[in-house]
Every structure is written in C-alpha cells, then in structure tokens.
Chain A
C-alpha cells in the first residue's frame, strides 16, 4: 500500500537549492538558447529578430545532418558495447579473483585522463602508417589492414572504440557496486537447485540490476549527446566532416566561427530531440501513477 507522505515544509526547504538552480541556470539557459536562436546574433548575443533563418541554414547544412547521423551510430554502439563489456568486466571481477583492485583501476583509469592527449595516443595507434597496422605488417603479416580512421565510412566506429575504452570502466564500477549488493544466499540457493551460473546471471541478476542499468544508460546517453573531446582529438571530425558530431558543430559555431545564432539553433534542435526521446522514458519511469512497490 501506498504510504501517505505528508507534504512537509522541510521537503520544500530541501528542494529549494535545486529549485533555484533549475529555474535560473537550466530553465533560464534553455529559454535564452531558444530565444537567441531566432536572432541574428554573431559574436555577441543580440536581440535582432531573424525569424527562422538560422534553422533554415541549419537544415541546409550537410554537416549538421551528418553529425546527427553520427550521434545515432555512436550512441547505439557506445551504449551497447559499454553495457555488455562493463557488465562482463564487473561479473568477472566479482569472482573473487586476485588483484581485483589493480584490475579495477586499470579498467577505470581512462576515465580519469584528459582525452586531449590520450586521444593523441589513440590517433597514433590507429594511424595506418604509424600505429598498429604498420606494426603488425612489420611482424610479417604484410596484408594486415586496419585503417578505419582514414576511411570516411568507417572512422566513426573507431570513435566508438575509443569511447568504449574511456567509458566502460565507469559502467563496470556501477555494475560492480550493484553486484556487490546481491546476496550470497541467492547463489547458494541457485546452486542447490542446480541452475547453471550463466542462467542465474541472465534470469535473476540482470533483472535485479535494473536501476543500475538505467543509471548507466543515462550516463552514457549524456556522454553521447555531449561527445566532443573524443572526436576532436581522434579524428578532428574528419576525414573531411565524416565523423562530426552535434556538440562539435555547436562549439565550432558558438566559439570559433562566432555565429551564436546558428549554434543556439542547433542546440535547440538537440534539446527537442532529447526531449522526444526521454519524455516517454521519464513518463514510464517516474510520472505514471505508481504501481505498488514490490
């Protein structure tokens, strides 16, 4: 049954900081963004109304549509691979293995490093004349080919590899903290019933990790929508503009190209896309009349 939770002054006091932040920082910025996107603003924000001109240009720019497409490819790839790898790593670490602390730190360290320079290391490794391809060829396999980073149609997958390298450790940490909460008794019971280990994981453990998985997906989605450093350091958006992403597009126009109008128009579109995607989820997760808590 549903507990009657009293409306409480303390609740409002506690939520006051968040309220201020939401109203002034988030809502304020969102409204400002949308407003500026309908102006002629270049280097400095101005309020000279420009109608939908920025949006017309935005949708006529092939770079923008390419970057949206890349965001989708990158997003699906990154989220899928990180969840699977993160879970496998966590499950492996959860088997009472030796050197757990060392392994965990190894999987997690990429998250701590500024990607501007680690990205350069990746760029070298993936460079066909400098990195892995050449190395393997020198070992004797002269046909070995791994030059995705210079191919227009493949380079975005290389960005996924580097993204997985950077983010899957964090997902591993989240999953691990979830796994550590699961009762030993459960394993004993499963053992007595003779259920194979993998089935316990698939049928019991993973469903129990649902809140962890949701948090992971939100974290990864944020990384996807905001991905910038990764692309900048690894491919610079290239070859050509083939690995461009929305955040890079927005930043280029916001800062380098001094066209705030176009940049805010792109941000507004991005917001609408996010809104369309997360609204059903938000509703499902938090807004619908709550069922009884199990």
Chain B
C-alpha cells in the first residue's frame, strides 16, 4: 500500500515536471462530475477520491444522480456555458464523439503513452477512447452486461444444475414453473429488456451475428433466420415471467431472486450490489453465468473526459487524475467496490468476488471481449431499438417477422 502511494507520488511529480516548472505545493484541485450517487457506488468513487487526494490532488465532488441522461446534458451545458467541470463521466462509447470533434476536450496522448494504456486495455476499449488517433478519455471500469443471475438454494432445492445451454435453461425454467416459482424475474423496462435480448443474441445467435447487427447495422443479418430464432426465444421468455413485470425496476426483480420468488434474472453485474446489500455472497448464495450458450463478455462501462480548462493548475490536476484513474491500484480498489472488473487486463484480480473472477477469466480471450451496444452504435440507434424490443415484448401478438421489419425500419431512420 505504502509503496503504491509512493509510486503514485512519483507519477504525480513526473506529471508536474512535464507540465511545467511549478511545483505542486498546493493540492491540485479538480471538480469531478459523475452520476454515481447510491451508497455502493459512492463507496467505490471514494476509492478514486482517496487515491487522487493522496497523490497530491483535491477531489471536488459533483454528483448528479439518475441515469446518465439526467447528468449528461447538465454537464454538457456547463461545458458549452464556459463553466466546465474538470472531469466528467460518460458511458464508454459513441457519447463523446461530438464533444471530441468540436475540440472541447483535452487529448490525453501523453498520459496514455506514458502509462501504457494501449497495451493494458482490451483493444475494443482502447478504440472506444480514441478519436482521430488521439486518446480523448480515461476509461475506469468494465461492466459485464450479459450476466444471468440465479438463486442457488432455489435451484438446488429443485434439483437443477447450472444451465450451460439454452435448452438446459428452458428445462430448468420449466422445472421452476412446475414448482410454482416464477422462472425469470423480468423488469419490463426497455433498457432491461434490451439487455436480455442481447444476452440471447450473443448466446444463441453468436458473436458474429451480434456484431453484424449492431456494428455493421446490416439489414440482411436482421432478416436472417438466426436472428428470427433469437427473437422467438426472447418472445418465449414472456411465458416464463409474471404478468407484473411491466415497468419493474431491476432492483425489484433482483429482490425477487434474492427472496426466492423467482429463479433467474438477466442483468448486468451491478445487480451484485443488491445481493451484497441483502448479505448474500457470490458463488455461495447466488450464482452467475455468462451466457447460457456461447460464453462472451459484453463490455460496457464508463470513461471520464477532460474538458479544456483555462488555468494551468487545473490542467495539471487533470493529468494527475487521468493517471490515478488508470493506475493499477486504484483500478482494483474501485472496481472491487463497484462490482465491475478493472479495465486494465494486467492487474491482480485475486481480490475480486467469485463472479468477477469468472468474468476476468473469460476476458483473457480477446475473441470473447464483446463491445457493448453503446460502443458500437449511436445512442439514437441503440435507444430507438430499445423501443422496438420493448414494444415487441409487450405485444405478444406481434410476430417475429414484424419485429424484424420494425428493427430495420428504425435503423434506417436513425442512421
């Protein structure tokens, strides 16, 4: 620990030297703008703040809760209004395109080169922070989005082994249904449904189909029989959820798994926070599967951008913070609390929980590092497609063909 701090001090000093002759006697003050407000999230952010302050910075916290769509416009308006925060959170992906193109952001090439970001990051994540050959953001975490959570005791009680294929999954779901348990706890909000859909798309349709559909926005891939099959599997899940799923928070759905009302839930790794809050332990009380079907890891996450500042001290503070964000020590501490896995692939992961360990293992194979939809397509496309998935889910009379048609129309309009 002590050595780590020393190393950080060293890094800070070097950054200071690089940036100019002035020595950092005063702490380097920087306002950090993010939307991590819940208790668990705040505890994670605290780790970054501690590291930053220990390295000679002074973290000034501005948190605006809600999904990023509440906080982002506020921060963007501050950037445009000439009162930018020193660092601001975005989701990893296309959200930063325009700010970078308009020249509102600092490029972090020097820090990235010095700290070896390119070598340390999964290639898809590195690409996601580079615009026109320059590093424009510092990634902080890697959230797996395609997890399937389950209640271990409940499965054992009903003699069900962890399903590894979709057939096994549906067999397990049938058993649960027969036992009077809701097989899948679904939160019927479009973004949640879309995560579930993507899990199936990857698990059953495979990586290539997923990339063609989201990255290439290829209409032919969407009209393929494989995609249609995915849509049908997704539709089939309606029979395995309860009628109360409409607009249910994911937390409530997780609560159903925790209390044994439901067996499974498709959700990102942040669901762990709910289990932990209920004093449950990963791998012991609840289980986690990447899949079923083809095992991939859908990588989403958050980055911080650094708006151009007028004062030199602020700029130095930015360099320091970017260094801290990507430092091995801070990465491990932050992500252990956040429930995500470190963005760096070259860190000691032994402190992570059982589920995160599974994730880290899968991530070792570059072929299984799947970029989340946010990275592949614009928010406009991604969220408009969520509407389509939500509508399909809520309208059992809609056929898979109609769904496919709507999908392609939506992409064509939003492109």
Which residues does A use to contact B, with CB under 8 Å?
42-44, 57, 60-61, 63, 120, 123, 127-130, 147, 149-150, 152, 155, 234-242, 252-259, 262
Contact = CB atoms under 8 A, between A and B. Distances in A.
Contacts of A240: 387, 390-395
B243 A256 contact: no
Contacts of B97: 43
Contacts of A254: 73
Given A238-B394, A242-B394, A256-B67, A42 B380 contact: yes
Contacts of B242: 129
Given A147-B243, A262-B380, 7 more contacts: A44-B98, A57-B414, A149-B247, A238-B188, A239-B390, A241-B387, A257-B380
B244 to A, nearest CB: 3
Given A238-B188, A240-B390, A258-B378, A150 B244 contact: yes
Nearest to B391: A240
A126 B17 CA distance: 62
B390 A238 contact: yes
A259 to B, nearest CB: 5
Which of A44, A120, A127, A258: most chain B Cβ within 10 A?
A: A258
A43 B76 contact: yes
A238 B378 CA distance: 23
A129 B241 CA distance: 12
A99 B189 CA distance: 43
Given A43-B98, A44-B80, A238-B190, A252 B383 contact: yes
Interface of B, helix, strand, loop or mixed by DSSP? helix
B69 A255 contact: yes
Interface residues of B, number: 38
A61 B410 CA distance: 8
Given A42-B380, A44-B98, A239-B394, A150 B413 contact: no
Given A123-B247, A236-B189, A238-B189, A257 B99 contact: no
Contacts of B391: 240-241
Most buried by B among A130, A238, A252: A238
Contact of A129 (B73, B243, B383): B243
Nearest to A61: B413
Given A238-B188, A241-B391, A254-B73, A150 B243 contact: yes
A105 to B, nearest CB: 30
A93 to B, nearest CB: 35
A238 B383 contact: no
B70 to A, nearest CB: 7
